[in-house]
Structure 1
Amino acid sequence: MVAMTRKRKHDEEEACKIKTTTLLVPPPTPTTRQSPRLAKKQKLDYAQTALPLATPPDSTYGGDSPEATTTLTLDLPPVKKAFNKRVHWTPPTPIRTQASTTLKRGRKWEIFFGREIKDDCAGVTDELLCDFLENEVTARFPQGSTYTGATGQWSRTLDDGSTVVVKEGTTVVFLVEFEGDDLRKVQSFRDLVAEAARAYKSRFNQDAVLVCEIECLMDFI
């Protein structure tokens, strides 16, 4: 009876001892492209992974035979994988556009009508301008025209020979014509533009009327 009691006491003392286990992690296998610096770092990480693990027994016993419950918690450093990533360039998808538009040969005329009148402070009023555009411009160019208001300046020579910069309101009239290869049609249209400019110069006592003729490509789209 005494021998059995001593044996049970010996078993309980052995169960209460803390068992220490060493976790062995196989060393990393070097690769052919591994640099010496990376190999040294992996050896250091391997040395740190050999951790002592304690297995404390459970303090509660049931029955005649004591049982120990072990909880293992292992924190290992994250594994770093070195790899080369190749970036492949993908060309952008071409955008489909409509067929290019073929423009026709044409000409554009610009006529600059100044709104100042010598010895008349009122100048060319809106009523006088509308009447001129109706009877002199629209009558000559029934196919259409465009006009807009602007502010211009020019140099005027006085009687004593000195010059002065004159600023005045201006109305610009735009005219277009498809010419093709018919030069006679171009000359006919050019004469009508000159007639409208001379009519304005004579009616409103202007020093000059500026006319611009521009070759261009155009079409109604």
Structure 2
Amino acid sequence: MRAAAAAIALVLAGCAGAPPVACAPGETSGEVAQLFFGRNIGDEVGVSEADFEAFLDAEVTPRFPEGLTQVPAAGRWRGGDGQVRREPSFLVVLASDGALDRRALGEVRDAYRRRFSQEAVLQLTTPVCMAF
């Protein structure tokens, strides 16, 4: 029982921040966040590419001026009402050679939810090895 509790504590401690990863020579440890932004408002596409570009310019780039990658995506997810929906989306990838600013990530998610009437914005954050 104590061993299981210790294992759970170690796993949860790893979620508190990006632990350094063992990188190969020439690589740097860092962190990547992927943010998934749905484009539907209600049952129809309501966030145009121009709307999203304006959102990136106003909300994301000022908080993460090092750069980002934007990828069109097609998602499926189960909403709070239990219905599975297909939805065109945008995936934004942010990388840092240190820990990403969690407060800024939350501000971006909140701004998108408010601006485009979204139920959620998915964020995945992962420690990585990077090389340029």
Higher RCO (CA < 8 A, seq sep 6+):
2
Q: Show the counterpart of 1:195.
A: 107
List alignment gaps of at least 5 residues for structure 1.
Answer: 1-99, 180-185
Which of 28, 34, 37 is equivalent to 1:110? 34
Deviation at 1:123, TM superposition (A): 1.1
Aligned partner of 2:21 in structure 1 is none
Q: Output aligned runs, 1:163-202, within 5 Å.
A: 163-179=82-98, 186=99, 189-202=101-114
* Counterparts of 2:67 and 2:124, CA distance in 1: 18
- 1:138 is matched with which residue? 61
In structure 1, C-alpha distance between the alignment counterparts of 2:78 and 2:61, rounded to whole Å? 30
> Residue deviations 1:26-84, cap 9 Å, x none?
xxxxxxxxxxxxxxxxxxxxxxxxxxxxxxxxxxxxxxxxxxxxxxxxxxxxxxxxxxx
Kindly name which structure, 1 or 2, has the bigger radius of gyration based on alpha carbons. 1
CA drift at 1:155 = 1.2
How far apart in 2 are the matches of 1:103 and 1:201?
A: 35
Distance 1:165 1:102, change over 3 A: same
Partner of 2:79, secondary structure, is strand
What's the TM-score once normalised by structure 1's chain length?
0.47
State the identity as a percent: 35
In the TM superposition, residue 157 of structure 1 has moved relative to its aligned partner by 4.0
Separation in 1 of the partners of 2:128 and 2:72? 23
Number of equivalenced pairs: 109
Q: More strand by proportion, 1 or 2?
A: 2
Structure 1 consecutive aligned stretches of length 4 or more whose deviation exceeds 2 Å: none
- The reply to whether residue 153 of structure 1 matches residue 65 of structure 2 is no
Does residue 219 (structure 1) correspond to residue 131 (structure 2)? The answer is yes
* Amino acid paired to 1:118: G
Paired residue type of 2:79: R
**Distance in 2 between residues matched to 1:108 and 1:219, nearest whole Å:** 13
